[in-house]
Amino acid sequence: MRDNSSKQILLSILGVAILIVAVIGVSFAAFTYAGVGKKENTITTGSITMNYTEGAKGISITNAMPVSDAVGKAITNTAGAADTGSDLAGGAGHLEAGASGVFDFNVNAKINGSVTIKYDIMVVKKSSSTLGDAYAKLYLEKSTTSATTGYSQSTAPTAYGSLPAYTTATTNAGKALTTGKVLHSDTFTTGTTHYYRLRMWVADTYTVTGTAQTFTVTVNVYGQAV
């Protein structure tokens, strides 16, 4: 009997305690507010794609002789699949069957948004090259219409050794590399394709010796949105 009374008293006290806590809880935060926004605030980035595409063949001229810039600028490609090899005009050298006297490539950009892409075309001499830098002449043409027509000079005939080195001060893309020369710098402001044709020959200041010399370069393209 006493136990039942004690239990009832304890339950009563517990009930009162719960009510006190509830009252305190109600009075502690009498006002709350939540304003939920509906307006969305959104930023969407533009997009940039840039591609460098090389032609099917690089320059491969054998028995190259020193020639003038006028002759070098006129070097043409091979005749086609039936070609059995030919000598280049003006004694610039010989093309084996299927070889190419020019190197065609293009740089393409797709741009969404108002952005400018600056890019640099640079040439890197292969370490196995034996011909002096002063005697390898490079000449670059550019077309904005197609890969076969509309070419005009973008880099005048220049000896490899005289091309500017690749530094942040001389390039569009602001990259500094330890090797390579800047052949040409350009800009995209809209999505389009720039077509290039590279020619290379032995400068007419070179004195032919009894030893065959070679000169090999590769082309790299670096771009940067600015």
21 counts as binding another protein under rule CB under 8 A? no
What is the smallest separation between the CB atom of 34 and another protein, expressed in angstroms? 5
Binding segment (CB under 8 A) for another protein, from list 33-41, 86-94, 151-159, 208-216: 33-41
Closest listed residue to residue 181, CA positions, set 195, 171, 192, 194: 171
Q: Which is nearer to another protein, 28 or 128 (CB)?
A: 28
d(CA 169, CA 45): 29
What is the chain's length? 226
Q: Which is nearer to another protein, 15 or 150 (CB)?
A: 15
What is the smallest separation between the CB atom of 52 and another protein, expressed in angstroms? 15
3 counts as binding another protein under rule CB under 8 A? no
174 counts as binding another protein under rule CB under 8 A? no
Q: Which is nearer to another protein, 46 or 161 (CB)?
A: 46
d(CA 120, CA 168): 11
Judged by CB under 8 A, how many residues of this single chain contact another protein?
41
d(CA 110, CA 95): 36
Max CA separation in the chain (angstroms): 129
| Residues 108-137 as x/- pattern, contact with another protein by CB under 8 A | --x-xxxx----------------------
| SS3 annotation, 137-157 | EEEEEEECCCCCCCCEEEEEE
37 counts as binding another protein under rule CB under 8 A? yes
d(CA 152, CA 142): 5
225 counts as binding another protein under rule CB under 8 A? yes
d(CA 152, CA 117): 22
> Which residues contact another protein (rule: CB under 8 A)?
1, 5, 8-9, 11-12, 15-16, 19-20, 23, 26-49, 110, 112-115, 225
